[in-house]
A and B are shown apart, each in its own frame.
Chain A
Amino acid sequence: MINKSSFDIKQALMSISSAFGVSGYENSVHERVIFHLEKYAKEIKIDKTQNLIAYVNEQKADRKTILIDAHLDQIGFVITYIDDNGFIKLGELGRSDTRLFSAQSVTIYGKEQLKGVIASLPPHVKNDSKKTPKLDEIYIDTGLSKSELEKKVKLGDAVLIDSTPVEMLNDRFYGRAFDNRCGVVSVLYALSLLCKKQLNCNLVVQFSSQEEVGTRGAMTGTFKINPDEAIVVDVSFGKTPELSLEHTAELGSGVMIGFSSVLSKRLSKDFVKLAADENIPYTIEVMASSTGTNADPISQTNAGVEAVTLSIPLRYMHTPVEVIDISDVKNTGELIAKYIGRYA
């Protein structure tokens, strides 16, 4: 049985997705997550690579350890150069799409937060305006001279494209960093459903760092936790007009359960059966080899970990206007809670 939850998915998503926390700067978002986590976890730790790890219940040596992982970092940029005009050049944290950079406003996270605009060349000076600008051609207009700017920012400081989460029709939202903050929220929702249950397994939640730059945080976090099983919660591609359903899932069609060479067939099948038995909407996401998620390193941690991916369909991944359906976040959380609830 699942408890009634007072956890507000929308509110949590708005709060957690709008916090700054690019790869390497995850500590800035920890506070807003801990706000929820401390209601459900026995012990919370932050490790050397800024993984936020919650030991939900007492960890006992003689029983199974289950890890739920969701990465907490978001894509963004670092300042690599300040030129003589006070314009900033950027390096990427994670893969971004320069086609959408033009005329975005940004926030620079220096000693103080500064606003800026991504400068772009107008058609009259661009020789080949049908071509996508390269990152090397893109500057941030800060409105400050080099010397003024250098008092406030240093090389290595982070930059984010501004975006505020907004509700659309049908309980759908657009915003940035829904990859993977909506996954994080679904895990928090699952914990709220499991709250007060005595579990006959060790349950550990890892909100991992640096996924966007190569699934790095999950490596060190999982080494320490040494789980038997891992449920990796992330986002995957939502259906849009130019994409085929073979590679995507419709928004609102529920949780995407992963099948892949690197995942545990037993777990994937078990989750499909559980979703069907519990009438939780789901689709099957088939990936031939690697999943591109934290499941890849987690499954080969220590002596090996049985892993499965649960993904939330998301449109326009790695843009400031990612779109998700709240029902998918809810269904993902419910499936996790049903699975863990078996140990109650």
Chain B
Amino acid sequence: MNDKANIIDEIKTLSLINGTSGDEKEVISYICSQLDNIDSVNYSVDKLGNIIGFKKGNKKPKNKVMLAAHMDEVGFITTFITDDGFIKFAPVGGIDVKAAIGKPVVFQNGTNGVIGLKAIHLQKQEERDNLPKFEDLYVDIGARDKSDAQNFISLGDNFYFKSEFFEYGDDFIKGKALDDRVGCAILLKILREEAENELHFAFTVQEEVGLRGAKTAAFQIKPDFAIVLETTTACDISGVSGEKQVCKLKNGVVISHMDMRTIYDKELYVLANNTAKSLDIKAQTKTMVAGGNDSGAIHLSGEGVRTLALSLPTRYLHSPACVINKSDLFDTIALAKEMSKILINY
């Protein structure tokens, strides 16, 4: 079996599943179906929807190590239906309004729509110069009026970017929800391949609305160490230079020392960097303090958890076109596997 093709297929499958914070059901269902086929894995789904479990190892581990990836993606929620049948909405998670305008969307029940905007011909200069706010936007599903729309959509219904998954250029991958379905795919791969060591894991919910699932997941697992598998903003594009690029695609796995939510365990940061170096795994760190991930909740759980975050540099995060590179994917997998082995006996 071609292993490299396998994980790309799984990332594609996961990318095309729709599941924003609080609406992770379809992702949970897919991941559980995969876990059911992995030997020695026990898991349960908690009250919030976190998938929590462990894979039994041959040896008694010295430390309890938890690997975590979040299942939710950014998306939208229906807040109101107008008399003429248009859907008003709010973003779930941090979405730049530019990423939403003029995009096709699909509701969890399959209803298609578009986030429309006034034609350029009719805009006044001021409207052209300034971006609209989410409250000015609406989704058009083709409904004739409010009651027509209500036959298909209810307040509170979530909807999603409709976005093709494809590979382009030199090993680049584009798709929605790569944050953090890529982390989910890596975690599944590690669970499938780990034979010896006992590993604990959490596929978490509600990361995009404040690291909420990770809080209850870490409380239940009570790990000694945690490795968070994530994606992080890269801005290595034309028009941006120096530290503002934050990190670069094809430069390897991102080992964080600090972001907006976490000051990472210094010893683990150094250890991960040294390990990468010794194994010829490309690694980098972020050149700005930006973003945050489940580490923010996990490292403050209980009496505290020593936490490491390993991320794929990702362009255009939280948009219908997140972009990663395969080489970073394999670097992240390699370092995550090695660090989990090391920390179990650390």
Contact = CB atoms under 8 A, between A and B. Distances in A.
B233 to A, nearest CB: 6
Name, among A100, A237, A243, the residue most crowded by chain B CB atoms within 10 Å (CB to CB): A100
B315 interface: yes
Interface in A228-250: 237, 240-243, 247
A131 B130 contact: yes
Q: Is the interface of B mostly helix, strand, loop or mixed?
A: loop
B201 interface: no
Given A104-B321, A174-B112, A119 B99 contact: no
A325 B141 CA distance: 12
A325 B320 CA distance: 26
A172 B323 CA distance: 32
A226 interface: no
Interface in B87-133: 96, 98-99, 101-104, 111-123, 128-132
A174 B104 contact: yes
B104 A131 contact: no
Interface string A92-109: 000111011111110000
A122 B131 contact: no
B84 interface: yes
A265 to B, nearest CB: 25
Contact of A87 (B123, B148, B237, B244): B237
Interface string B35-63: 00000000000000000000000000000
A58 interface: no
B75 to A, nearest CB: 14
Interface residues of A, number: 64
A139 B116 contact: no
B155 interface: no
Given A105-B321, A241-B82, A115 B166 contact: yes
A120 B316 contact: yes
Given A144-B169, A241-B138, A242-B118, A139 B321 contact: no
Given A99-B98, A121-B235, A137-B239, A132 B130 contact: yes
A103 B152 contact: no
B120 A240 contact: no
Nearest to A240: B116
B321 to A, nearest CB: 4
Contacts of A100: 98, 101-103, 117
Contacts of B244: 124-125
A173 B239 CA distance: 37
Interface of B: 82, 84, 86, 96, 98-99, 101-104, 111-123, 128-132, 136, 138, 140-144, 148, 152, 162-164, 166-172, 174, 233, 235, 237-240, 244, 246, 288, 290, 315-317, 319-321, 323
Q: Which 5 A-B pairs have the closest CB atoms?
A: A143-B169, A100-B102, A168-B142, A103-B319, A172-B142
